[in-house]
Amino acid sequence: MSRPIVVVTERGYRRFVGGHPWIYRGDLVSTEGGISSGDIVLVRDGRARNLGFAFFSSSSLIALRMLSREEEPDEAFFKRRIERAVDLRRRLRAERAMERVVYGESDGIPSFIVDRYGDVVVFQTLCGGADRIKEMLVGILRDLLNPRSVVERNDPSVRKLEGLEPVSKLAWGEPVDEVWCREGELDVLVRPLVGQKTGVFLDQQENHEAARAYARGRVLDGFSYQGGFALQVATRAESVLAVESSADALTALRANAARNGVTNVETREANVFDQLTELSRRHERFDMVILDPPAFAKNKEAIAGALRGYKEINLRAMNLLGPGGILLTCSCSYHLTEPLFVDLLREAAADTGRSLQLLERRTQSGITRSCWRCRRATI
């Protein structure tokens, strides 16, 4: 098959041979063959050596997303890649009711995300190349996963960088608004068309279940969303206060609680920063505090402000813990490294006159999570 050709600089060549999946616009030398955004192109270096095939974008700073070195990216190629991703997940872990099946670049199909909720499959095509072939990809998913429904959840803002419109709709199969899936010992409500990401935060699933081991007494869950942490720890705790600013999320949390017969969770619609301050003013104490905030640093320029925000919210949480209390704290800010996160926690502890003992460090999909035992400082 004849493909348009893109020639890259020496720096672009070094990125490619170094295994980086992206080549940026500044590393393009020339194009040949009537190229348009979303095309699959042949990539060459300045010596006319074929480097491989890639998705091309004319609008994003990421101009090339590498697909393969030698294999022709036809339908059979994409089917093999998806089959390999599905087989890998099945080999590495016991099948879950909710799971990510395809991880984009990691599975060799850039910007293509596939999540499964029972017999409902939800996909995202986040670049022009993947979006161009999405009907073919849906057909492959139907053959391999035999779903009841396939949902297109293409509303992330990153698509704007590719000149793509937001889309959230049923792509194939039966209409679906809600799906009940099992997470650990509990049923969880998933809303593929309107919930966060593709329905829920799948990256925290194992950590929700792991949090139960630390739960006791009175628990505060900040940024509770639909209750992923709150409902799991409620099975061990005396009571849980779930604080969340989204009324819709709290409605789902209460539905989850009712479905599972959980009666010891109180929901409170409020700004978490303000609520922590108010609880501290009233001298309330908790045996466990959970913090799972949204990203405070979405780019490098936001790091300084994010550090202040993370330190402040963790400091307020520590002030609410009794002796021996447990702090489960999370960051999903890519640009906030783990050493920086640990340092700010130490600083927050010092400012509250307490010491911390690290009990467990958990990561999933590049997200840092830590669990600490908080003690009053002794002199």
CA 111 vs CA 70, 252, 269, 301, 378: distances in Å: 20, 29, 35, 24, 51
Establish if 189 belongs to a structural domain. no
- Rounded to 5 degrees, what angle do the CA atoms 122, 145, 174 make? 55
**Residues 22, 126 within the same domain:** no
The yes-or-no verdict on residue 203 having pLDDT over 90 is no
Whether residues 50 and 116 fall in one domain: no
Annotated catalytic residue 332 = yes
Calpha distance 85→108 (Å, rounded): 9
Instruction: Give yes or no for a contact between 85 and 107, defined as CB atoms under 8 angstroms apart.
Output: yes
Q: CA–CA separation, 5 vs 48, rounded Å? A: 10
Q: Reply yes or no on whether the pLDDT at 164 is more than 80.
A: yes
Give the per-residue pLDDT at 332. 85
- pLDDT band at residue 301 under the 50/70/90 scheme: confident
Q: How confident is the model at residue 296 (pLDDT cuts 50, 70, 90)?
A: confident
Residues 289 and 171 in one domain: no
Domain residue limits at 32 = 5-68
Which one is predicted more confidently, 225 or 302?
A: 225
pLDDT (0 to 100) of residue 297: 74
Is 295 in the same domain as 365?
A: yes
Which CATH number covers residue 295? 3.40.50.150
pLDDT, residue 96, reads: 84
Is the pLDDT at 94 greater than 80? The verdict is no
Look at residue 112 and tell me if it is in a domain. yes
Indicate if 14 and 79 belong to the same structural domain.
no
Residue of 127, 181, 330, 332 marked catalytic? 332
Q: What is the mean pLDDT of residues 290-296?
A: 90
Residue 32 lies in a domain: yes
Q: Decide if 148 is inside a domain.
A: yes
Assign 303 a pLDDT band (cuts: 50, 70, 90): confident
Please provide residue 131's backbone torsions phi and psi, each rounded to the nearest 5 degrees: -65, -35
Q: Identify any residues that bridge with 54 across adjacent strands, giving them in sequence order.
A: 41, 66
- Whether residue 378 is predicted with pLDDT greater than 50 in this model: the reply is no
For residue 195, is it within any domain? no
